[in-house]
Amino acid sequence: MVKTLQKKFVVTSMLAITILIVFLLGVINVADVVIVRRQVERTLNIISENEGNAPAMPRDITGDKPPLVPDNKNQKNEYDTFMSSNFFIVRFDADCEVTFVDVVRTSTVTEDTAVSMANEAVDSGKTEGKVGKYRYMIKNAMFNDGVNVVFLDTAGEMQSILRVLILSVLVGAGCFVAMFLIVILLSKKAIRPIAENIEKQKRFVTDAGHELKTPLAIIQSNAEAMELYNGENKWSKNIKEQTVRLSKMTENLLLLSRMDEGNNKVNKAKFNLSDATKDASESFIESFKVRGVKFDRAIESDVMAYADRLQIEKLIDILLDNALKYTNDKGSVVIMCHKEDGHAVVSVENTCEKLPDTVPEGLFDRFYRADTARNQSTGGSGIGLSVARSIVMANDGEIKAEYIDDKRIRFKFVLSES
């Protein structure tokens, strides 16, 4: 139980940390993409507005030399931006004929390639877009009715984005590993108060269960002795029935406690589940007949399972006992054993007067009682299905409850064949 609690703490903590890291990395990379995109758009605007010509170099008030600091300290001025850019420009007239091509600012594109790319951009009908590693912008020419198509090489910007992405992922992965180790180291300390309370509860249940065994045995023997001298009566009968009920509940509580503590030995081996199902269900045939309940068995031959046979027989006993308690009079119960997708499957279906007012999974909660009055009359304690789930988990299997219709319920467990 403590290890399970520690595992859940680590998983929950790392899930929260992962979400935080992913969110932060996402924000960083999105912001980087937006900034780079704005820089590219600014550069395209500068080139387009100047139609491929260098803007005037900024001068100080004397006109002798460039100012030491640009107007905007956070970015290059227009002249420096233009001079550090790789681009080419194609100009079309009003009849969509090429009148000018300038590829001086790039060494990787010929005039023919520039014209072909410009035609593709114009045919797209968009004023901005991307062709390969180049982003383009189409603007009306200043001195004629044509248009200028400016292509800017954005390979450097894309590499910058990729570099930030790779670095952020590496940093994020490093932070994740570091936080994982820290969480594991701190998890024991974090859950220590809860773990101590759980251990106290376990010791109390175990000690109380062992202490109850002796007085229960004495009460049972004294009730039987009274019947020998005075004969059986409704009071002695009631004492014996309630003693049996309390003994069974104590046994289940001790079993649950041992499983929680990991002290319950599981002797797993391959066995014939079909034979175990037949043997475990044999003793219930007469009990169902007395209540007028139709009991069917659909058991395939030679269904093998890898588990603790004694525990699985007890599991089947719990499920059939549960069906015996809650099946309506003149109802029906069916137990099935078969192979399914390479696994051994056993299911118990029974009719009932009405379905419990909870989700099927809630039936496995300890001390859940769908009908208190009926539990009193049938001897139910509300922990049988909890024991069933613990047995299945100890044998590395799965168990679930299903509502088949408004008056039928199924309990199904799955075990490995090997």
Determine the number of helices (DSSP H) and then strands (DSSP E) in the chain: 10, 12
Question: How sure is the predictor about 73, in pLDDT bands with cuts at 50, 70 and 90?
Answer: low
Question: How sure is the predictor about 377, in pLDDT bands with cuts at 50, 70 and 90?
Answer: very low
| Alpha helix stretches (DSSP H) within 298-404 | 309-326, 372-378, 384-394
Q: What pLDDT shows up at residue 69?
A: 47
Q: What pLDDT shows up at residue 387?
A: 84
Q: What pLDDT shows up at residue 362?
A: 83
Q: Is the CB of residue 369 less than 8 Å from the CB of residue 383? A: no
pLDDT of 371 > 60? The answer is: no
- Tens of pLDDT along 243-259? 877 877 777 777 776 66
Q: Which residue has the tokens 């009920």?
A: 245
How many angstroms separate the CA atoms of 344 and 315, rounded?
Answer: 14
- Over range 315-335, report the average pLDDT: 91
Q: Is the CB of residue 378 less than 8 Å from the CB of residue 325? A: yes
pLDDT of 62 > 50? The answer is: yes
CA torsion, ordered 155, 159, 161, 165, to nearest 10 deg: 150
φ/ψ of residue 403, rounded to 5: -90, 110
- Average pLDDT value over all residues in the chain: 83
In whole angstroms, how far apart are CA 326 and each of 103, 189, 282, 317, 371? Answer: 88, 45, 19, 14, 9
Name the CATH superfamily, with its identifier, for domain 269-416. Answer: Histidine kinase-like ATPase, C-terminal domain (3.30.565.10)
The CB density around residue 348, as the number of other CB atoms within 10 Å, is 21
Q: What pLDDT shows up at residue 174?
A: 94
Q: What pLDDT shows up at residue 238?
A: 84
pLDDT of 163 > 90? The answer is: yes
Instruction: Sketch the domain layout of the chain as residue ranges.
Output: 2-159, 269-416
- Over range 305-330, report the average pLDDT: 90
- In the 8-state DSSP scheme, what is residue 247? H
